[in-house]
Structure 1
Amino acid sequence: MSKLSSILGLVLKTLISLCLVGGGFAAILLLGEAKTESDQPPHENIRLVEVQSAESHQSGITFEVDGVVVPYREIQLAAEVAGRVTEKSDQLRIGRVVSAGKPLVLLDRRDYELELERLQEDLDEAVGNIEEMDVQIASTLGQIELAEQNLTIQTRSADRIRSLVSRNATTEASLDEALRAELTAKTSLQSQRDQLNLQRASKSRLENVRDRFKSEIAMAQLKLSRTTITSPIDGVVVEDNVEQDSYVQQGTAICAIRDTSKLEIKCSLQAHQMKWLWESSNGSTEQKQLGAYELPETPVTVRYQIGNETYLWDGKLSRYDGGEIDPQTRMIPCRVQVENPLQVRRISEDGKVDLVADVPTLMVGMYVQVDVHVTPRAPLVAVPISAVYPGNRLWVIDGDVLRRRQVSVAMTEGSNALVYAGPGRLEPGESVVVSPLAAPFDGAKVEVKQ
């Protein structure tokens, strides 16, 4: 019985195997005989399509990047002279607004005023000494003039006596006396001239002393002026380090003031966006040769949204922020400069734009959106986004057939895609298919829906 069961099991397995093999062969035969459907529909199958003309895009590209507001500059004020704080302005508090030229701290002036008074007295004495020397020089010049006249007289007298001696009309003793008188006159003249040279040298020394006192007075006046510490810029106080009646040394930090006349925005651009900047006609690359680390100044619009309202500021993309690529994001840091943070426009809920003056200006630390406006030199055409298929392909109508075009999309703007135009790509005015296509192929017959 056991042997019979084994035989029946073996037969059953064989039959099942034969059935599976036979089924496989049957399937192969059926598949081989089945018609393979063509990927391409028959040419006589005319498709009804909707088209739209590709329009030339002349208004440039506006792309958005995120940014954060940073200070344009911060001024660290320090005491330039030592002294006790006799007065401190109420505006010198963190968060207060100060104006350029406004006194913030007054230091004790008495020591500097006394020093200036002493130097002024020394200067007056030096000037008096010079005037006295001028009188002496004038007197010496008069003495020299008299000595020259006396020498002339003595020389003529000696000449006459020499003439008489030659005629034996007088004695040799008379001639010696005349020559002695002439020599005395010469000695007196030379002595006066030496005195004049000495007086002039003394005057030069006194003038040097006078000039030194003038320089010291100028320094004393400068130190006296530095006892009044003023704000060099319009700004906001961000550090306050002194109090009234405290003593400060030269170089002691007084405060830090953040400039509010301008602000900057840190942002980062991708490589293709930087390429748009370099190709942009908004920049100055056509007017002057830019350096390796210079950017063409490009206009931007800064946006900040509060509730349902958006506030706008005008600015310009001015420079790189460090001249290197961020190693984490692989983006290029740049700086946007806002020349007038107080000039702000508001877009209301209904889309109306107007100037406003009742809202805070840009503040450091704000996260904003920056719209960069560029106009690439490469021509662009606008097509509906629905016309662009995966892989940056689109279909155009050439007569009554479809033609595939491989395009490069610059960016999307609203419901349109901006693509680079040119031979072999897409030309302005070409008819682009905007209706859905099932299994399209190059050369398919089409009919434009009217």
Structure 2
Amino acid sequence: MSDHETPDHTVPETRDEPRPERQPIPRGPNRLLALTSRLVVAVLMLGAAIAIFFLMSSTKPVVQEVDPAATRQTVIVFEAQRVPVQRQWRGYGTAEALYSADVPSRVTATVESIPVEVRPGAVVTKGQLLVQLDASDFERQLDIAQQRIAELDAALSQLDVESDRLEERLVLEDSDVAIAQTEYDRQVRFQERNVGTQQDLDTAERNLITAKRNQLLTREAADLIGPRRRSLEAQKASQQSQVNLAELNQQRTTILSPIDGVLQTIDVEVGENLAAGQTIARVVSLSPIEVPIQLPASSRMSVSVGDRVILEPTSGPASLIDGLGWTTTIARIAPEQDATTRTLTVYADLTDENGNARLPAPGMFLEATVAIADVEDRFVVPRRSIRQGRIQVAQDGEVVSRAVQVAYTLSGTHSGFGLPDDQWAVIDDVLEDGDLVIVNAATRIADGTLVDPKPVNETVSKASAQQTPEEGEATP
């Protein structure tokens, strides 16, 4: 085909396929034979079906009637009864050391030595050496003060001698004044009788004045002995204070533990310069321990001093805290409530003298259960028996649920029910003595369900009393 030729789009011709010819129905004897064979096949198939039906009917299982009582679910129950209980309040608190001491340096000095055994965590006793400071400066201050006292003592001794000499001199001055007075009086009489000269009178008067002036100077010096003595004694007392202070500072360079306890920290090193008031160590006494417990503010009207308190750790590996707890009583109650947290603070003390071999460490967070002294008879059920505010009771072989109101909860065991539970709920009076309460409400059973109640004291093992997964299944 050339480039200018038009392509041929002619559709190729198709030819119809030859159709098979329809076979004519045989006529005569052949037709009768075909109809007969078809009839025989149909009869055979119908007979086979009938045979199969009778075979299956003869081999089917026979339905046996079952007693409705045999299909009842088995549930573990206990008899409701009133038991004496003490209301419990639950709170939390942090253990604190009742006695602890931040040991300061009371002088400015350099750390001279620290005993090898003084390390954080070491047990120390009251009066044990913690740190030794350099005392050379205070020893020098003590020497200076003592020398100054010696000088003042010498001055006081000299003053005593001077006082004695002035007293003797004053006696002589008194004699001079008396003699001069006598001479002056005689010259006055001579002058009155005109037998004496004016010069002799003037001389006698001058001698009298001189004697009196000397007497006044000596008396003045004697009178100053007392003030001078008091001044020296005051200086001596001041220096004695300096001596006492130097001795006290010298003693303060030996830093001792003020209490029995355990070293929490030691904050200084040898050669370090310390300022007065700087903390060098912290000592914590592990007994007694005080626990401030935060209780709901509504507990104020019921709790009182002497109520029993059970303290337990709130966290930690189960292997470490299992069975660990302490029993004590309320020692004090704070007068005010915290308006922000709406809590009341009570204080419980723990000592190793009341059977507590190992007390909680200071800083441990504890859960506290306070049992008030008043006892009341109430219905008590395990907390697992309550679901969505309802309990289930087996009544006349059927399940009946009842709405309950929990007044408060309790911790501990109640042997009268035969249950191992330690968490209980005190409920309002929706039960009657003898009601069969279903122990475990974890599996919800519809009201009206037929059940077979089994008292907990008839169970074979503790596991059956704790409602195993098989509980609630139909009994074969």
1:342–1:361: 8 Å Cα contact kept in structure 2?
yes
When residues 152 and 62 of structure 1 are mapped into structure 2, their CA distance, relative to the original with a 3 A threshold, is: farther
Compute the displacement of 1:95 (Å): 0.9
Structure 2 residue corresponding to 1:336, chosen from 335, 343, 347: 347
Distance in 1 (CA, whole Å) between partners of 2:106 and 2:425 is: 61
Compute the displacement of 1:144 (Å): 1.7
Q: What is aligned with 2:328?
A: 314
Q: What is aligned with 1:270?
A: 296
Residue 433 of structure 2 is aligned to residue 434 of structure 1: yes
Q: What is aligned with 1:37?
A: none
Distance in 2 (CA, whole Å) between partners of 1:95 and 1:368 is: 23
Compute the displacement of 1:206 (Å): 2.8
Q: Percent identity?
A: 21
Alignment of 1:285-324 (within 5 A): 298-304=306-312, 312-320=326-334, 324=338
Structure 1 residue corresponding to 2:368, chosen from 364, 367, 370: 370
Q: What is aligned with 1:185?
A: 211
Compute the displacement of 1:120 (Å): 0.9
Residue 78 of structure 2 is aligned to residue 83 of structure 1: no
Distance in 1 (CA, whole Å) between partners of 2:169 and 2:308 is: 83
Distance in 2 (CA, whole Å) between partners of 1:128 and 1:269 is: 72
SS of 1:314's partner is strand
Q: What's the RMSD between the two structures over aligned residues?
A: 4.2
When residues 322 and 252 of structure 1 are mapped into structure 2, their CA distance, relative to the original with a 3 A threshold, is: farther
Q: Which is greater in Rg?
A: 2
When residues 322 and 95 of structure 1 are mapped into structure 2, their CA distance, relative to the original with a 3 A threshold, is: farther
Structure 1 letter corresponding to 2:332: S
2:159–2:225: 8 Å Cα contact kept in structure 1?
yes
2:123–2:263: 8 Å Cα contact kept in structure 1?
yes
Distance in 2 (CA, whole Å) between partners of 1:307 and 1:232 is: 33
Compute the displacement of 1:127 (Å): 1.7
Alignment of 1:67-216 (within 5 A): 67-72=93-98, 74-168=100-194, 170-216=196-242
Distance in 2 (CA, whole Å) between partners of 1:96 and 1:131 is: 56
When residues 51 and 301 of structure 1 are mapped into structure 2, their CA distance, relative to the original with a 3 A threshold, is: closer
Residue 380 of structure 2 is aligned to residue 382 of structure 1: no
Distance in 1 (CA, whole Å) between partners of 2:184 and 2:371 is: 103
Distance in 1 (CA, whole Å) between partners of 2:330 and 2:312 is: 16
Between the two proteins, the alignment pairs up a number of residues equal to: 323
Q: What is aligned with 1:294?
A: none
Alignment of 1:413-428 (within 5 A): none
1:237–1:255: 8 Å Cα contact kept in structure 2?
yes
Distance in 2 (CA, whole Å) between partners of 1:107 and 1:51 is: 73
Compute the displacement of 1:300 (Å): 4.3
Distance in 1 (CA, whole Å) between partners of 2:93 and 2:255 is: 36
When residues 73 and 334 of structure 1 are mapped into structure 2, their CA distance, relative to the original with a 3 A threshold, is: farther
Structure 1 letter corresponding to 2:353: Q
Could you give the per-residue CA deviations for residues 110-153 of structure 1, whole angstroms, max 9, x where no partner exists? 22212211221111112211221222122112212321232233
Distance in 2 (CA, whole Å) between partners of 1:51 and 1:92 is: 62
2:149–2:240: 8 Å Cα contact kept in structure 1?
yes
Compute the displacement of 1:188 (Å): 0.6
SS of 2:270's partner is coil
Distance in 2 (CA, whole Å) between partners of 1:136 and 1:143 is: 10
Distance in 2 (CA, whole Å) between partners of 1:252 and 1:308 is: 42
Q: Which runs of 5+ in 2 are unaligned?
A: 1-78, 314-319, 382-387, 390-404, 417-423, 437-476
SS of 1:138's partner is helix
Structure 1 letter corresponding to 2:203: E
Alignment of 1:189-268 (within 5 A): 189-268=215-294
SS of 2:162's partner is helix
Residue 358 of structure 2 is aligned to residue 360 of structure 1: yes
Distance in 1 (CA, whole Å) between partners of 2:282 and 2:335 is: 23
Distance in 2 (CA, whole Å) between partners of 1:75 and 1:63 is: 33
Q: What is aligned with 1:8?
A: none
